[in-house]
A = this chain, B = another copy of it.
Amino acid sequence: MQSEIRKELLDAFSNAGDDFLSGQHLAELIGCSRTAVWKHIEELRKEGFELDAVRNKGYRIIKTPEKITADEIRLGLSTMFMGRNIHYEDTVESTQKIAHHLASEDAPEGTIIIAEEQLSGRGRMARKWHSPKYTGIWMSMILRPNIPLNHAPQLTLLAAVAIVQACEEMTDLILDIKWPNDILISGKKITGILTELQAEADQIHSIIMGIGINVNQKKDDFPSELREIATSLFIEKGETVSRAELIKSILKHFENLYTLYLEQGFLPIKLLWEGYATSIGKNIKARTLTKTIEGRALGITNDGVLKLEDQTGFIHHIYSADIEI
């Protein structure tokens, strides 16, 4: 019903071209109240539409949201396999869910799933991830590396390096990696990575890597509870970033690092990662499922496990935790 009204509204604006449409006229056309029209127009603004609103004249659309299209990603994509198979969706429950399905149906390595909006995007440990329409990159990638199961966390770290490299290349901003799967700017979260897998006990079938990046959100686009802890490239840089270009850059950097990793193992990735991880050398708190450990982050092992030295000098190996710096 709501989407039906939205569609009629957009049709009306399409037909009107550069002419203004009054709230009263729109209300009569669609058969709803002027308040309802106003609410839908606010929704359009949130989706990335820009509208002129002039007293006694009404509204007109002056800019449509920057939608990503699969063709836009393909244009100029310089990878061998990453993103060579693109599934693009407007609205999905979660790109991970689609990716899991495609992976079990033998989708090739490098397949990516992109959506403009996720209704129930998830982060690590089934935490909700806010992924509103037309503002961010909500993407899943299917990988099929021949590596032991317990090396899977290394790919989270590898992806983090690729994303930092791509974002820094496109924006000149400085990004920090927070172990294991967050990327921050000035302490606020800009990216989350979720690495899932389908496997036999001794063999990986596929890695399903979910990436959420806050790209063009304005401060008001974040729900109030996220405003102090999340940010976007737009907020930090002050200008819109092309999501399609950023995706292409991530795919390229990822493919380069992934190829290096499959040839030479985790060591070169580890060195790059440590260069971007600000928490290394600092005192941090690590909250695991069973306890909280305070100490100095020494670095990561060759397996991607965090080394944390407590006050007694004991070095804890942290496989999974939330980190507070």
Measured CB to CB, the residues of A under 8 A from B are: 100, 104, 124-125, 146, 148-150, 152-153, 155-156, 180, 194-203, 289, 319-320
Of chain B, the residue at the smallest CB distance from A198 is B198
Of chain B, the residue at the smallest CB distance from A181 is B201
Contact A320 B155 (CB under 8 A): no
A150 CA to B199 CA in the complex, in Å? 11
Contacts A149-B152, A197-B197, A197-B200 known; 9 new A-B pairs at CB < 8 A:
A148-B150, A152-B202, A156-B201, A180-B201, A180-B202, A194-B200, A196-B201, A197-B201, A198-B198
A180 contacts which chain B residues (CB < 8 A)? 201-202
Instruction: Show 6 A/B contacts (Cβ-Cβ < 8 Å), sorted by A.
Output: A156-B201, A195-B200, A196-B198, A196-B199, A197-B200, A202-B320
Contact B203 A195 (CB under 8 A): no
Partner of A149, one of B104, B149, B289: B149
Contact A201 B155 (CB under 8 A): yes
Q: How far is the CB of A193 from chain B (nearest CB, A)?
A: 9
Q: How far is the CB of A142 from chain B (nearest CB, A)?
A: 15
Of chain B, the residue at the smallest CB distance from A209 is B201
A201 CA to B320 CA in the complex, in Å? 9
Partner of A152, one of B125, B156, B201: B201
Of chain B, the residue at the smallest CB distance from A304 is B201
Contact B200 A199 (CB under 8 A): no
